[in-house]
Amino acid sequence: MLWVGSQLTIGYAVAPVLFASLERTQAGAIAAQLFRIEGILGAVCGVLLLVLSNVLARRGAVNYRRSRWLLAGMLLCVLIGYFALQPFMNAMRVEAMNAGVDIANSPYASRFGMLHGVSSVFYLIESLLGVALVWLQPTVRGVAVQRI
């Protein structure tokens, strides 16, 4: 819940408010920091939850077998989006700043836009997998409680 909730909040509430409220360069710098934190949180939570789901599935909790695939997909999206694409985007942003222009007015603008689009697709897929993960989690409703 922490991972999915923070991802949805940052990506679909905080980032749009930043870009609506602040100058584009400043909003982009803040959003990049938030997405970096979210990437680290996602990687840590993804690994821990994947290990936990494997343990529970091996102990016979069949409902967690499906969770492993959703978690693996989410973790893959995090690794590609934050740890493969973001370093290239950050390098372009730094090069543009060193040249004295923002990324939108730099020679890297089209390449940055393409990488940003690809990154956004991975973020959307991760978000949808996260919603499915939360939605499909086993519940205790309808399970009879045995008293000893």
Domain boundaries, the chain: 2-135
Q: What is the pLDDT of residues 95-123, one digit of tens each?
A: 998 999 988 889 999 999 999 999 999 99
* Residue 29 in this model has a pLDDT that exceeds 90: no
Q: How far is CA 8 from CA 31, 35, 92, 95, 115, in A?
A: 13, 11, 26, 30, 20
pLDDT bucket at 125, cuts 50 / 70 / 90: very high
- Contact partners, residue 32, CB within 8 Å, separation at least 6: 86, 89, 90, 93
Mean pLDDT of 31-51: 94
First to last CA, the chain: 32
Dihedral sign from CA coordinates of 130, 46, 93, 111: negative
Question: What confidence category does residue 148 fall into, taking pLDDT thresholds of 50, 70 and 90?
Answer: very low
Residue 35, C-beta contacts closer than 8 angstroms, at least 6 positions apart: 10, 11, 15, 82, 86
Q: Distance of alpha carbon 9 from its chain centroid, rounded?
A: 11
